Structure 1
């Protein structure tokens, strides 16, 4: 994650920088549901998304009804390079990712995709999100089945055809193995509510999610 320089921390303390970030990060884009979805099963399903800082992704998705477990981690590279220090070097091909275990009888894969594109991140930003830059912050979906891949691919095409965003969607579908991140990254939002990054970027997104998706919010 990008660490704030002293000047940014000073501005945060004055409230000047917080107002700017809230204005930029809190808006949920109104999107339709996918026309196709993954069928519900009696057993939990798993989704893996990448879209910027995994603290932010986890902060949003752990507030979705039907989500049973979220794990911050790395996907797209090898086991030997799945550490924060190595991923931050931007040489490992990993993306900061979130593994979501969910009850498909309460929330569908399609509904999770809608949240992912609407508020969890900006799918038109290439290799960056907010203050974080580099390929490890890219927008990507790691389908866990051929059906998930088909649904995600069709939804991207649906949104592009509807011109849902002012710029093209840059989200890629990728294959890989998910590796959990270090313990200190897990549920960072919950454990560090006053951390500057959380205050500036994560809290506005969680608030925007709850406002835009009241039926899905815990």
Structure 2
């Protein structure tokens, strides 16, 4: 496990594209504009929020997990997207990110992104990334994430990692932007699981 540096930006962008391109399809953006959007996101994460990023690497990056920062420096990302995308593509991308956004409470660590390369799936990479973050959660905190209701593989992974569904919801508007019409909000609480071990 390691954090990422500037030499990993292209790899991270490709992995983000691989993991999220399906959700981007509803925006009907050309592939090259999707690639630009994910490259901007990768650059932004590495340049401003690398301490929130954990990657699993062998010869290539096999998976990454990104914790939402307490203070997201969104203006810099917005400037880059506006500079590099057509205006309509810029608006679609901003809307896409907006409808995936989550406001954290003070005691919450939120997994914003968890992606495993297709060639590395089924090897426990996702579980390793989650366990790395769990080890950083103190007793007063909770670790949270959203998952699409129909993403059974992801839900099984989180359930095996002791995440529980605390909320379910639907989003017709959000579904038009990222294709997720029904979602589950899952959480893992550090204090509860420490009590079980004692």
TM-score of the aligned structures, taking structure 1 as reference length: 0.29
Larger strand share, 1 or 2: 2
Larger helix share, 1 or 2: 2
Q: Which has the higher contact order (CA 8 A, sep 6+)?
A: 1
TM-score of the aligned structures, taking structure 2 as reference length: 0.31
